[in-house]
Structures are given as C-alpha cells and as structure tokens.
Amino acid sequence: MTGTADRPARAPDRTPPDPPTGTPRPAPHALNPPAGPSDWASRTALVTGAASGIGRATAVALAAKGVSVAVLDRDAAAARDTVALIQDTTPGRALAAPCDLADIPGLRPCVDGIAEELGALDILVNCAGVVGPRGSLEELTEDAWDTVQTVDLKAPLFLARAVVPHMTAVGHGGRAGVHGGRIVNVSSASAHRALAYSHAYAAAKAGLESLTRTLAGELAPRGINVNAVAPGVTASAIHGTADTEAARAERARTGPTANLFGRPCEPADVAGAIVFLCSPESRQITGQVVHVSAGAIV
C-alpha cells in the first residue's frame, strides 16, 4: 500500500524469514526475563525495622506485589500498625513479629516461629538500625559503641544465619537462580564519607557492607543473592524529632551530606531499590552496594 498525505507508507517488513526446517530457534527464556510478576505471590519475606521509615515502606512495597511479610520490630504497637496498613492497602499477607535485635540468642527462635507461621522464608531485609549519640572521640562511650555495633552489624549477621536454613529448605533451594533466597542489608552513605562524630554508626555500616560481600561469596552456591542498599539523607524518624523536614532539606542541600539534586530521599525511593534486589530480574546481581542517595556518593 502507498502512503497518503496524512498516512505514511508502511515501513518495510523486517521480520526475519522462517529458518529452514530443522534449524533450532533460540530458547524463549534466553530473550525474556526469568519470571513473571505472578511469582511474587508465592514469596515470603522478613523485614526488620518495618514499624517505621524505610522498613515500613519496604514491607508495604513487597506486600503490594503479593508477598507475605513478617514485620519485625522492637516497637510492637507500631509493627501492628504496619500490618494493618498492609492488610488495608495490599493483597499481601502480614504478621507482626515483636523482637529486640539486641537480644542475639533470641533471634533464632523468633525466625523459626516466623518461618513456621509463613510456611517458608525467601527474603530477608535487614533494615532496622540506630545511629547512636553523635559526639567527639572523647565523648563516645563503650556502651554507645556496643549498642550500635550489636543492632546495626551483629544482628544482621546472626539473623542471616537463622534465616538461611529456611531459604535452602527442601522445595526452596530448588528455586535457586530465578527464585533463590535474597538478603538485602540496609547500609548508609555514612559508610563512605569522612563524617565527623559518627564513629560507631559509620564503622558498623562499613562492616555491614563488608559482610554483604562475604555472605555473597559464601551463599552463592546455595542460590542466595546478598546485596546492600546505601541510602543518603532520607525522611524518617531515625534522627529524632529535632530532625525536621526543613533540617533534612538543609542537610541534602549543603554540608558533608549534600546530594546532587539537593533534596532528601523518601523511604519509598529506598524501598524501590530493595524490592528490585528481591526480584527475579536481579538474579545476576550479588555482593553489590546500590547507592540511593541522589548522587551524594559518586
């Protein structure tokens, strides 16, 4: 057919001719993503720190995909609020798991109870964190150092140790590659800066990124991807009530935590990267740190 003034001629047909009979075509999975969205509904996740901020946004974002989520936090009432939010706004199932991550021996029984309740555990998001008091070298107390190391570094490791047997249990390890286990650790841009007065927090997050690489190497043969996400200034409750919206905007614009866009992240920005690292499409990504900081770290 030829074209008219308002209707251009059709482009030439570029469809390749059929191969001669007997020539093998490439397998469809070589061209297509490894799995479709409906697979999310069979997944189960444990998200720590899910009573607030980035953890809550992550739990809701996973549940919005149909994932069944355990909402772990030391704040039991706020964890139940997250569960209610999930039940009201998403198709995912949720349960509250009140637990203090500073109680290291208590982690395995807590995880075993969650796995029994959900029937499996495919995804662990280590999101809970504390910054501890900021102060000079002389002001830092041993207790403050220990608390931050325990919650931000030690607990993610011992939680992973408790979760991995459930990820690799019969019937789940078999899904490795496309639907293998996923661990995502929430680090911080602070691990990458010369940020004065952040000794314990920056060291714990740098340690968490190192742990991410170690576990990626160790758990790859079991079909588990381990990655980290490093947020920059993000709107949340972590710095207390004195950290107002205006104060965060200022920290995103100027000084040592400034970023290229001059605006803070929202928890949903970080949750989006975490969900991607839990998806089938990220199956070839492991041992990495994804920065969600509007270019604060480049």
Ligand X SMILES: NC(=O)c1ccc[n+]([C@@H]2O[C@H](COP(=O)([O-])OP(=O)(O)OC[C@H]3O[C@@H](n4cnc5c(N)ncnc54)[C@H](O)[C@@H]3O)[C@@H](O)[C@H]2O)c1
Task: Catalogue the active-site residues.
Answer: 201
Residue 243: CB minimum distance to ligand X, A: 8
Q: Residue 232 phi/psi, 5° resolution? A: -95, -155
Q: Residue 202 phi/psi, 5° resolution? A: -65, -40
Q: Cβ closer to ligand X: 72 or 176?
A: 72
Read out DSSP for 178-223? TS--EEEEE--GGGGS--TT-HHHHHHHHHHHHHHHHHHHHHGGGT
What's the per-residue H, E or C state across 56-67? Answer: HHHHHHHHHCCC
Q: Cβ closer to ligand X: 18 or 142?
A: 142
Residue 101: CB minimum distance to ligand X, A: 4
Distance CA 94, CA 96 (A): 7
Token digits of residue 231: 């947020």
Q: Cβ closer to ligand X: 64 or 76?
A: 76
Q: Cβ closer to ligand X: 67 or 127?
A: 127
Residue 130: CB minimum distance to ligand X, A: 5
Q: Which residues contact 52 (CB under 8 A, 6 or more apart)?
A: 73, 75, 78, 236, 237
Token digits of residue 142: 């041993």
* Chain positions contacting ligand X, by CB under 6 A: 49, 51-55, 73-75, 100-102, 127-130, 151, 186, 188, 231, 233-234, 236-238
